[in-house]
Structure 1
Amino acid sequence: MTGTTEKQQAARRSDATRAAILAAARERFAEDGYEKATIRAIARDAKIDPSMVMRYYGNKAGLFAAAVSIDPDLLGLDLGPHEDIGRTLVRHFLTLWEENGELTALIRVAATDSQAADRMQTVLRDQLLPLARRLGRDPEEAQTRAALCASTMLGLALTRYVLRFPASTALTHDQITAWLGPTLHRYLTAPNP
């Protein structure tokens, strides 16, 4: 009985330490950005030794992937009339990217770190794929349809928010929606070419 209690106490301490690290990391990443945030600063904020951060998360990229919360809420999104599906999704993604600075940092990290890339793929697998299944004509094509939508929106995010191409940043939301909305709509609903 004592062994179980000790294990439970250790598990609670471990959970509390992880929660403190993640809370400190979210604040530090939001305040300093990914590049400037350091493991030492995060550990100091969490009032723990930096080695504990490394023990639980391996490196800064692993910590970032665990700390960044991505919930685009695609499954609960009101898509409106069928003909507006693509435009609704584009507007929704623009709002997500502009209201959540963590996403810009995540796309930077995901290009070179497998844990961050897995985090981005989780969104595709858990949200965009079920949406494509619901809207597509052939459920077996859902992966292709979801991947095409993701490539379009991630391409926009990369050029607009990370690389900051002048032609991309100059576009208004209405222009982006007008250009990309029909494309996403076609990807999700058109017959297989």
Structure 2
Amino acid sequence: MTTARRSDATRAAILEAARERFAADGYERATIRAIARDAEIDPSMVMRYYGSKEGLFTAASDFELELPELAGLPSRHIGPVLVAHFLDRWERDDVLTALLRVGVTHGAGVERMQTIFAEQLGPITRGVCPDPADAPRRAALVASQILGMALTRYVLRLPPAVEMSTDEIVAWLGPTVQRYLTAPEP
């Protein structure tokens, strides 16, 4: 294996271990030593590649929401489609859980969450809301529903939220998200 491939493999192992550790422990309790142990490398390698815990978190939290293409979708279906999409993303990737945990406890997490939602949810909202100038407020309302459900279901693990099926959550939250996106201003 070439040095570049070993380096890439080491970086990938570190990022995977960091994502799992940040998701499980949050930013404050996750340590470079624990992440290195999980990646089966020396802690100095983590520092060599990422410089600091914050640098590692920034790299580990590089995340695409992979939002669906909404063009051509009847506007009345956008809310339920987005809710279903977000639930799917939370179910298949611990990075969002790590971001949420860190986002409520540490400045770097807050900034990362703000950036992801502004850069990725913002354009979707501008494209579907009646007045694009109102898109930031509407995106914040959508985020309140999505993040609120994620917090109760994946972080706090409140039994009623965990026990609900995806279809039930979409049925409850979809109309609310839809209203936030497309309804006339109250």
Same fold (TM over 0.5): yes
Contact 1:91/1:173 (CA < 8 Å) preserved in 2?
yes
Distance 1:160 1:132 in 2: 24
Match of 2:102 in 1: 109
- Kindly indicate whether residue 136 of structure 2 is the aligned counterpart of residue 147 of structure 1: no
- Kindly indicate whether residue 18 of structure 2 is the aligned counterpart of residue 25 of structure 1: no
Alignment of 1:35-46 (within 5 A): 35=25, 38-43=31-36, 45=39
Letter in 2 for 1:27: E
Q: In structure 2, list runs of 5 or more residues that go unmatched.
A: none
Change (3 A) 1:22 1:76: farther
Structure 1 length normalisation: TM-score?
0.78
Identity among equivalent positions (%) equals: 46
Match of 1:83 in 2: 76
After alignment, is 117-126 or 49-58 more displaced?
49-58
Deviation digits for residues 118-143 of structure 1, max 9, x if unmatched? 11111211111111111011111000
Distance 1:119 1:17 in 2: 29
Letter in 1 for 2:116: V
Structure 2 length normalisation: TM-score?
0.81
CA shift for structure 1 position 188: 0.5
Letter in 1 for 2:84: R
Q: In structure 1, list runs of 5 or more residues that go unmatched.
A: 1-14
Alignment of 1:1-80 (within 5 A): 22-29=11-18, 33-35=23-25, 38-43=31-36, 45=39, 50=44, 53=47, 56-59=50-53, 61-74=54-67, 76=69, 80=73
CA shift for structure 1 position 70: 1.6
CA shift for structure 1 position 99: 0.3
Distance 1:17 1:192 in 2: 55
Q: 2:179 aligns with which of 177, 186, 189?
A: 186
Change (3 A) 1:19 1:132: same
RMSD of aligned Cα (Å): 3.0
Letter in 2 for 1:105: A
Aligned residues: 179
* Segments ≥4 residues shifted beyond 6 Å: 15-18
Deviation digits for residues 19-47 of structure 1, max 9, x if unmatched? 66642322213555542864135457485
Distance 1:117 1:16 in 2: 33
Letter in 2 for 1:153: I
